[in-house]
């Protein structure tokens, strides 16, 4: 035998109570989810003196010599790697970080190398060529698991400051080192690994035939008045 029908007013009240209960349950679930997200963010590793490595060229890269006397200016280095934690090298060993943003590391390496050969212009107005750098990879790339495979990948716009004509060149550097068990050894290996990859990328850019060809072409276009 079915339950006796509730009076019309009582039925409306019951429906409202049920609706309020559903809203309360949804609100409770939302609060729980927010708590989980906030807790996970709070647990995210942070760079400290104990888990940070310093990546920088041990010595500037000597650029190639060009037929013309040129001065370069280095524009913005744009990080296009899409890494949400660009300073995080690896989450292994409780996380290991670099001490600066990758774009800053790359900019310093290129700028110091140009300056060492007196190829760095005092300002953009006095430069013959402007370099715009896009950083597509900085850090570890997939490997076999037994090695650290460091990689630095650049795409560079070479622009003639007088004509505005530009050419695109690319440069990359890689390095392989063994995975270490102890954290201090891992940090040492990763620092050396990424420093080598950075040096190779800058060397391949400043000493590469692609840069020479790009400059030659933009200079020829300037002479032809194109």
Residues 77, 109 contacting (CB under 8 angstroms): no
Give the pLDDT band of residue 122 (cuts 50, 70, 90). very high
Binned at pLDDT 50, 70 and 90, residue 47 comes out as very high
The model carries a pTM of 0.79
Cα–Cα distance, 208 to 226 (Å, whole number): 25
3-class SS of residue 156: strand
d(CA 153, CA 77): 12
- Between CA 54 and CA 105 the distance in angstroms is 9
* Percent over 70 (pLDDT), the chain: 79
Structure tokens at 127: 């430069």
Mean pLDDT of all residues belonging to the chain: 86
Range scoring the smallest mean pLDDT among 12-21, 171-180, 208-217:
12-21
pLDDT at 101 over 70: yes
Q: Are 94 and 51 contacting, i.e. CB atoms less than 8 angstroms apart? A: yes
226, with CB counted inside 10 A (0-12, 13-18, 19+), is exposed
> What pLDDT does 22 receive?
64
Q: Are 110 and 143 in contact (CB under 8 A)?
A: no
What is the mean predicted confidence (pLDDT) over 64-86?
94
Tens digit of pLDDT for each residue in 133-170? 999 999 999 987 789 999 999 999 999 999 999 999 99
Helix (H, G, I), strand (E, B) or coil at 89: strand
Angle at 90 between CA 88 and CA 94, to 5 degrees: 100
Query: What is the token pair recorded at 151?
Result: 């990689």
Record the tokens describing residue 55, joined without a space. Answer: 């990546």
């Amino acid at each position: 035998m079915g339950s006796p029908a509730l009076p019309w007013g009582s039925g409306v009240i019951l429906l409202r109570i049920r609706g309020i209960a559903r809203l309360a349950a949804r609100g409770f679930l939302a609060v729980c989810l927010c708590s989980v997200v906030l807790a996970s963010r709070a647990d995210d590793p942070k760079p400290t003196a104990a888990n940070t490595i310093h990546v920088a060229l041990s010595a500037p890269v000597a650029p190639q010599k060009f037929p013309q006397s040129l001065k370069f200016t280095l524009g913005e280095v744009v990080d296009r790697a899409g890494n949400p934690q660009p300073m995080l090298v690896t989450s292994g060993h409780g996380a290991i970080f670099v001490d600066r943003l990758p774009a800053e590391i790359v900019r310093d390496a290129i700028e110091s190398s140009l300056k060492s050969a007196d190829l760095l212009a005092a300002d953009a107005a006095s430069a013959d060529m402007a370099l715009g750098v896009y950083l597509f990879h900085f850090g570890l790339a997939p490997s076999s698991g037994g090695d650290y495979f460091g990689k630095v990948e650049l795409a560079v716009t070479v622009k003639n400051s007088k004509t505005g004509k530009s050419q695109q060149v690319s440069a990359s550097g890689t390095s392989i080192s063994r995975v270490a068990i102890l954290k201090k050894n891992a940090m040492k290996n990763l620092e050396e690994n990424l420093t080598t990859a950075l040096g190779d990328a800058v060397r391949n850019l400043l000493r590469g035939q692609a840069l020479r060809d790009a400059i030659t072409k933009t200079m020829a276009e300037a002479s032809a008045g194109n």
